[in-house]
Chains A and B, each alone.
Chain A
Amino acid sequence: MQVKPAENNGPGAPAQSPGPAQSPGPAQSPGPAQSPGPIASAGVPPETSQGAAFHQAAPLIEAKGLGVARGGRWLVRGVDLAIRPGEIVTLIGPNGSGKSTTVKALLGILAASEGAVVRRPGVNIGYVPQKLTVDWTLPLTVRRLMTLTGRHAAAEVEAALGEVGIAHLAGAPVQQLSGGEFQRALLARALIRRPALLVLDEPVQGVDFAGEIALYELIRDIRQRLGCGILMISHDLHIVMGQTDTVVCLNGHVCCSGTPQAVTESAEYRALFGSQAASALAIYRHHHDHVHRDDGSVVPGEECNHHDHEHDHA
């Protein structure tokens, strides 16, 4: 839970203000328990605070100075990130910022051009790719899709489909599923492997708003139940900020990373997302305020200012 100021080693990095005056300082204390004020600690959403223990655990997978170049151009460079058991890490960033490239390099789908990916030996990975179209010529039912990369008993398959709420579609050809159903089928397929690390590349693509929220809730449930680490790419800042432990903001390099709260307060993040960032912050703050009222220590109206003020001097 610390904010790493970005090193400006990315290709064509946007205007950055690495100065400590604008961005939260690197000296910020790492855990909510040691945070200086009640505000910072209350800023951790209740559903993520239980996962604080993951900071002691060894990472499932870790990128160290990871860079990927293709065709003489750096797609992404200087990425340091780690996913620990029980932690939800979300990559955000504009189109072409290297989110998918980073994930693929972590998974070994793309070879790293520099730096290293360290994977804990024997880590079982479940992957939900961004795009998957199954050719019509391949007869594939949802049930058969479940055992695509590993052997699983029929009862396990039914259970996994039930978990994501599509048990009734077991016999349907995958080509006939709707966007949301197919996404759930892919999630079930990854889950049946009982992964230690679940990787989701834009899991709510082609899913309507209601389905989107349901899917994110499902993903959070999965973390609770399996205790797996989750690495996710998302475009939906509102939901990301509410349901993630660590946010990594990419734009050809790591702009900033840390808790959702810390990232939304960083200047790099605001420069990158502009007005969208502000609205995500507002909604996040709303959540934040609510927690505060329970404390009874801060008046919601003043709280935001006070908060910013404190960080500016941190």
Chain B
Amino acid sequence: MLDDFFWRALIGGIGVALVAGPLGCFIVWRRMAYFGDTMAHSALLGIALALLLDIDITLGVFAITAAVAFALLLLQRQRALPTDALLGILSHSTLALGLVLVAFMAWVRIDLLSYLFGDLLAVSRFDIALIYGGGIAVLVILVVIWRPLLASTVSEELAAAEALRPERARLVFMLLMAGVIAIAMKIVGILLITSLLVIPAATARRFASGPEQMAVLAAGLGACSVALGLFGSLEFDTPSGPSVVVAALALFLASLLRAMFQRDPLQGASPNKGRGMT
């Protein structure tokens, strides 16, 4: 089965989605979608530098995205510019730097589109091992830091006051994000990674009544999106990454329809009228 490129992509893609779902929930809860986007865009710079220095591409991407995340945290602390301006600067300048650097390296021929939008054919057995090995590591670490990370998502101060060390949890979370971007790059491409993180989590919100439930649902919905998207990609000869994202979007729209035809599941759970639900 693994001899067939399609099955390799499917197995790899599902592995990525299972990890992206729970991590994506935190991105949604912490309002970090653009933060994730910026990290993902900087992956191209990582690819270019890895080619330049002749090191493993996954490693290069992990190092650069993590570095960009830390740079952002430091710049945020200075408060010279608002966060969205910082994200705009870093996101596009790292992407542009990567593109320019790749253009300079006349001696390497890379298929830029496959990095930007994902490539079904490019998933090797080694990639599958990397996705599942790295993915399991990411999930295990996420489970370990779950309580401090969730507590600091609700209130950074509360977590700090009750000795849960929110700074450390956030730092580890950044590294996990960098890890997921490095392993997800091949499947959906760096321009679309955030969608695999955010859309299944947003869909899961409609059905979840607790954070853990939402994380599991997001993983499942992400896996469904990958399967649907890749089969569609095979059927209609469309690029794999965008097809997966379109499938995720379809599931999200379906959840919206369900919400429209049904009374919102969040209403009526409490005897009280809503307190500023925004």
Decide if B154 touches A148 in the complex (CB within 8 Å): yes
Q: Which residue of B lies closest to A176 (CB)?
A: B270
Tell me the bound Cα distance from A136 to B264 in angstroms.
13
Decide if A107 touches B210 in the complex (CB within 8 Å): no
19 cross-chain CB contacts under 8 A: A107-B160, A107-B161, A109-B160, A125-B162, A125-B163, A129-B155, A129-B161, A137-B28, A137-B202, A137-B205, A139-B214, A140-B154, A145-B154, A150-B162, A171-B269, A172-B270, A172-B272, A173-B270, A179-B275
Chain A residues within an 8 Å CB radius of B160: 107-109
Tell me the bound Cα distance from A4 to B50 in angstroms.
65
Chain A residues within an 8 Å CB radius of B163: 125
Select A140's contact among B147, B210, B278, beta carbons within 8 Å: B210
B153 CB within 8 Å of chain A: yes
Decide if B210 touches A181 in the complex (CB within 8 Å): no
Chain A residues within an 8 Å CB radius of B275: 175-179, 182
Known interface pairs A139-B210, A144-B210, A193-B162; A176-B157 also in contact (CB < 8 Å): no
Decide if B270 touches A127 in the complex (CB within 8 Å): no
Decide if B151 touches A149 in the complex (CB within 8 Å): yes
Decide if B161 touches A125 in the complex (CB within 8 Å): yes
Q: Which residue of B lies closest to A145 (CB)?
A: B154
A155 CB within 8 Å of chain B: no
Decide if B272 touches A139 in the complex (CB within 8 Å): no
Chain B residues within an 8 Å CB radius of A171: 269-270
Chain A residues within an 8 Å CB radius of B209: 139, 141, 173
**Looking at chain A's contact residues, is the secondary structure mostly helix, strand, loop, or mixed?**
loop
Decide if A175 touches B164 in the complex (CB within 8 Å): no
Q: How far is the CB of A301 from chain B (nearest CB, A)?
A: 48
Select A144's contact among B31, B202, B211, B277, beta carbons within 8 Å: B211
Chain B residues within 8 Å of A, Cβ to Cβ:
28-29, 31, 147, 150-151, 153-155, 157-164, 202, 205, 208-211, 213-214, 266, 269-278
Tell me the bound Cα distance from A199 to B209 in angstroms.
30
Tell me the bound Cα distance from A171 to B210 in angstroms.
10
Known interface pairs A135-B29, A149-B164, A175-B277; A140-B211 also in contact (CB < 8 Å): yes
Chain A residues within an 8 Å CB radius of B157: 104, 107, 109, 127, 129
Decide if A129 touches B269 in the complex (CB within 8 Å): no
Tell me the bound Cα distance from A6 to B275 in angstroms.
43
Q: How far is the CB of A164 from chain B (nearest CB, A)?
A: 16
Chain A residues within an 8 Å CB radius of B159: 149
Chain A residues within an 8 Å CB radius of B205: 137, 139
Q: How far is the CB of A185 from chain B (nearest CB, A)?
A: 12
Tell me the bound Cα distance from A107 to B161 in angstroms.
5
A169 CB within 8 Å of chain B: yes
We find that the number of chain A residues with CB closer than 8 angstroms to chain B is 37
Known interface pairs A126-B162, A175-B275; A148-B150 also in contact (CB < 8 Å): yes
Q: How far is the CB of A141 from chain B (nearest CB, A)?
A: 7
A134 CB within 8 Å of chain B: yes
Decide if B162 touches A173 in the complex (CB within 8 Å): no
Tell me the bound Cα distance from A267 to B240 in angstroms.
76
Residue of B147, B162, B164, B202 most packed against chain A (CB within 10 A) = B162
Tell me the bound Cα distance from A202 to B163 in angstroms.
21
Q: List A113-172 residues whose CB lies under 8 Å from chain B.
A: 125-127, 129, 132-141, 144-145, 148-150, 168-169, 171-172
Q: How far is the CB of A201 from chain B (nearest CB, A)?
A: 9
Select B270's contact among A137, A177, A199, beta carbons within 8 Å: A177
Q: Which residue of B lies closest to A181 (CB)?
A: B272
Residue of B155, B272, B278 most packed against chain A (CB within 10 A) = B155
Select B154's contact among A132, A173, A176, beta carbons within 8 Å: A132
Q: Which residue of B lies closest to A106 (CB)?
A: B161
Known interface pairs A140-B211, A177-B275, A179-B275; A127-B269 also in contact (CB < 8 Å): no
Select B161's contact among A108, A141, A144, A168, beta carbons within 8 Å: A108
Q: How far is the CB of A103 from chain B (nearest CB, A)?
A: 9
Decide if B269 touches A176 in the complex (CB within 8 Å): yes
Chain A residues within an 8 Å CB radius of B153: 138
